[in-house]
Amino acid sequence: MATDVLIRLSDIAKNYSMGTSVVHALRGVSLAIAKGEFIAVMGASGSGKSTLMNILGCLDVPDTGEYVIDGEEAWKLTPNRLAALRNRKMGFVFQAFNLLPRTTALENVELPLLYNRTVGARDTRRKSLDALERVGLRDRAYHFSSQLSGGQQQRVAIARAIVNDPVIVLADEPTGNLDSQISVDIMAVFQRLNRNGITIIMVTHEQDIAQYASRRITFRDGTVITDEPVAARRNAEAELAGRSIGGQGGA
Ligand SMILES: Nc1ncnc2c1ncn2[C@@H]1O[C@H](COP(=O)(O)OP(=O)(O)O)[C@@H](O)[C@H]1O
Ligand SMILES: [Mg+2]
């Protein structure tokens, strides 16, 4: 069991000074996350979810506490080494899709690889088309992002997040701008990536979206208040198959 722990947080605290007062965004959070988990992070606005995600994603550092990510003692790393850890191991998906307009789906996905000097032009193209294939959008590679629906744009953003073969995908409200039917498409993509070995940590406000995850962790006022496996986990691909069969039958 100890060997497959991917992320371990020990007593992580993060405060923000607001003038003369202090906001305790995280108050001593300890967590172990195994490789291959799909975690839904829940909790009211202001409970510390994004602060946690920023620390897990090596975008920010805690004030106190120790944390290990994929064998690296992240809390001891210099900012440069933390950035390197982020670039090698993390993919990010946000509520706003953050695609460049007037740019094709393929070019958006290639973007992270353009900064990676170890990957040449041909490999960049091949890896990016492969990432689009994995989100079911290979046939939209040469469409401009503005020509794509919201759900398709989010899938391009996911392809961009996985093009560097991350170990972990961090998604902060990835379905926050999408209606519930389209959200199931996104959950199908996440569940497939997860089955293929990517660990996913996803913030959501929606109970029904959390049910596609394997474990649900709920925050309140900077602490974990519940942490449990998802009972009656939903299967997005099965739901989508049922939907199209129902549609053909005219139900
Ligand atoms: N950069 C910041 N400066 C000051 N306060 C912040 C900052 N980021 C977050 N906070 C505060 O920390 C608390 C937790 O915020 P956050 O992690 O964004 O919560 P959530 O994502 O659950 O809505 C909130 O009270 C928020 O106002
Ligand atoms: Mg947030």
pLDDT of residue 250: 43
Tokens read off for 20: 């003369």
Which ligand is closest to the CA of 219, given by its number? 1
What's the CA gap between 240 and 191, in Å, rounded? 13
What's the CA gap between 55 and 49, in Å, rounded? 10
Q: Read off the pLDDT of residues 173-189 as tens digits, 9 standing for 90 and up.
A: 999 999 999 999 999 99
Phi first, then psi: give them for residue 72, nearest 5 degrees: -100, 135
pLDDT of residue 247: 54
pLDDT of residue 243: 81
Q: Which residue has the tokens 């992002």?
A: 145
Tokens read off for 207: 């109970």
Residue nearest to atom 26 of ligand 1 (CA): 46
Q: How far is the CA of 107 from the centre of ligand 1 (A)?
A: 33
Architecture of domain 2-248: 3-Layer(aba) Sandwich (3.40)
Q: Read off the pLDDT of residues 36-71 as tens digits, 9 standing for 90 and up.
A: 999 999 999 999 999 999 999 999 999 999 999 999
pLDDT of residue 1: 47
pLDDT of residue 246: 63
Residue nearest to atom 27 of ligand 1 (CA): 46
Could you tell me where the beta strands, DSSP code E, fall in the chain? 5-18, 21-34, 38-43, 64-69, 72-73, 90-94, 168-172, 199-203, 215-220, 223-229
pTM of this structure: 0.94
Which parts of the chain have pLDDT scores under 50?
Answer: 1-2, 249-251
- Is there a contact between 159 and 165 (Cβ–Cβ < 8 Å)? no
Environment of ion ligand 2 (residues, CB < 5 A): 49-50
DSSP secondary structure string for all residues of 126-171: HHHHHHHHHTT-GGGTTSBGGGS-HHHHHHHHHHHHHTT--SEEEE
Is residue 18 lining ligand 1, measured as CB closer than 6 Å? yes
Tally DSSP H helices, then E strands, for the chain: 8, 10
